[in-house]
Amino acid sequence: MRLQNRRVQIIIIGALILLIALITCSTLYWKSGTNQAAAPILPHPEVPIATEAISTAQPTPTETKSPAYPSENVDVVLIGSELEGLYLARAAADEGLTVKILDPHLAFGGQVLQGQMLFLDETRDDQGHLLVQGRATELFDGFRNGKIRKLSEFTSYMNKLGKDIPIESGITINKVEEQETPDHMHKIASIVYQTQKKETKRISATYWVENSDYAALISQLNAKRLPGLEKFYGQKDIEYMSAGMMMKFKNVDWKKFNATFNAYKPEEKSKLFGGGYVNESYAIGLSGMTKAYHPSNDRVFLRGLNAVNQRDGEVLINALLVYTVDPAKPESVQEAVDLGNKETGLILNHFRKTLPGWEKAELGEEPKYPYIREYNHYEMDYTLKPSDLLSGAMFWDNVSIGGYPLDLQGTSANKWGIEMGRPDKYGMPLRSFLLKNYENVIAAGKNVGSSAIAYGSTRIQPNTSMAAESIGVILGQLHGKHKLREITPDEMTTLHQYLASRYHIKLTGVTGKNKISGWNEEEIRKLDTGEITYPSYVQKRKPTTK
């Protein structure tokens, strides 16, 4: 009986052990299955804890992968196809850099080809010496001697500037991808943009050039806008210089116009036309005749003429102003085009009645875009002021020698505009084309770092065209060495020598007349703010006694 009981006990104990083993295996299997979706409490020694946490934590910025858009990398990207910046593009490409143009406008050529602003202003010093240098000389010589007057001739010239440089027109900037440099500067790494065909692309570059007429790139950056003409005129709202609508006419007998005008005695010219000047190529002024025209509305105004004989009975005139145009708003730009072209038809009737040789004149091609004179001024490393220009200041980092009156074109507050002084000649430093706090953003053309008053002169094409070409050459010479901001005075001397010998751009050994010599600090301050208007003030100013 005891043996039998012992056997029973062994069987029971064995059964219990087997049951416990089955329960234990089942539990382990169940835990293993359910824990596959959860972060383990004790991670494997070969797997970092941070990696385990990625499945539940938000990704950090450095871990975010950018969408895989078609991408390319070049040395220099231009935003916009204005004439001035093309000189930078051409020079950089000739120096061996890869360059690409992204144009926010639908068509190439900016104010010259689209706005048809084909009346060129030369820059000369007080002695009448031409200040135009570099590649722009071909254009201005061609204009002066009558070989580059028509739109087709300007088109050929600009196409030559852009030869073999890829361009995409009608783009939209979707995103500017920035980095912060070790010295706490901003830096553009790449841009994501949409093409005219709605394709999204990414492009990266070493340098970026703002070359549009409404700061398409800089306006999207952390850049500081400087006060504009609204401060000078005491206006509450921002307003830019008037836009221009080019007026094109055909069937004009220019030979008769020139001969008849110049047959009049001076007093007769004054009575009939308000004075002025006409020769075989140009008609300038005649402001008495233009004053006699009454515009159809207060948004437009006919000032004195800048007219050029384009040959074959064709004439182009820069004289029609359109006020309160915002270049950054397409609807405002289109309104300016509509207002301007409508007014041109009315002005034609006035010219037929008042100008000899214009009796059978007809309207020519209507421009589809205005001549944009001004947009926002942004802070560069150095801001040019009226006192710089009128003192004939020169800089160790000159990239241009400028000249031209401080010509502030009209606004709604002052329809005729005002001249704030006439410099002899002055330097334009590299620093006035480098966007402040950005390592790799360059301004071209009308984006020059200038106060609103100094801009009356600095904006003129030969001034900023020379600067752009110089900067393009410098970029090529520095490639792979160091940054623009790291140039030393000694290195700039070498670069100046190279520009003079290779590109015929002389930026040193030039002296401008100081027209504010002896002025005190308060006078200079008022000159720079516009409280002093140089032409009238200098007539009554008493020399400072020593």
When pLDDT is cut at 50, 70 and 90, the band that residue 535 belongs to is very high
Cα→Cα distances 326→124, 215, 218, 233, 336, Å: 31, 12, 16, 18, 9
**pLDDT tens per residue across span 206-261:** 999 999 999 999 999 999 999 999 999 999 999 999 999 999 999 999 999 999 99
**pLDDT tens per residue across span 253-309:** 999 999 999 999 999 999 999 999 999 999 999 999 999 999 999 999 999 999 999
**pLDDT tens per residue across span 368-382:** 999 999 999 999 999
Please classify residue 402 by burial: count the beta carbons closer than 10 Å to its beta carbon, then call 0-12 exposed, 13-18 middle and 19+ buried.
buried
**pLDDT tens per residue across span 176-203:** 999 988 999 999 999 999 999 999 999 9
**pLDDT tens per residue across span 302-317:** 999 999 999 999 999 9
Taking residues 346-360, what's their average pLDDT?
Answer: 98
**pLDDT tens per residue across span 80-120:** 999 999 999 999 999 999 999 999 999 999 999 999 999 99
pLDDT over 60 at 25, yes or no: no
Which pLDDT score is estimated for 68? 85
Under DSSP, the state recorded for 450 is B
- List all residues 6 or more positions away from 544 whose beta carbon is below 8 Å from its beta carbon: 518, 519, 520
Taking residues 408-429, what's their average pLDDT?
Answer: 96
In 3D space, the residue among 225, 203, 185, 246 whose CA is nearest the CA of residue 71 turns out to be 203
pLDDT over 90 at 64, yes or no: no
Phi and psi angles of residue 434, each rounded to the nearest 5 degrees, phi first: -110, 120
How far is the C-alpha of 400 from the C-alpha of 428, rounded, in Å? 5
pLDDT over 90 at 58, yes or no: no
How far is the C-alpha of 261 from the C-alpha of 276, rounded, in Å? 10
When pLDDT is cut at 50, 70 and 90, the band that residue 35 belongs to is very low
**pLDDT tens per residue across span 509-530:** 999 999 999 999 999 999 999 9
Which runs of E-coded beta strand occur in 66-185? 71-79, 99-103, 167-169, 172-180
Which pLDDT score is estimated for 482? 87
List beta partners, residue 172: 194
Cα→Cα distances 488→99, 342, 484, Å: 25, 54, 9
pLDDT over 90 at 384, yes or no: yes
- Secondary structure (H, E, C), 360-413: CCEECCCCCCCECCCCCEECECCCECHHHHHCCCCCCCEEEEECCCCEECCECC
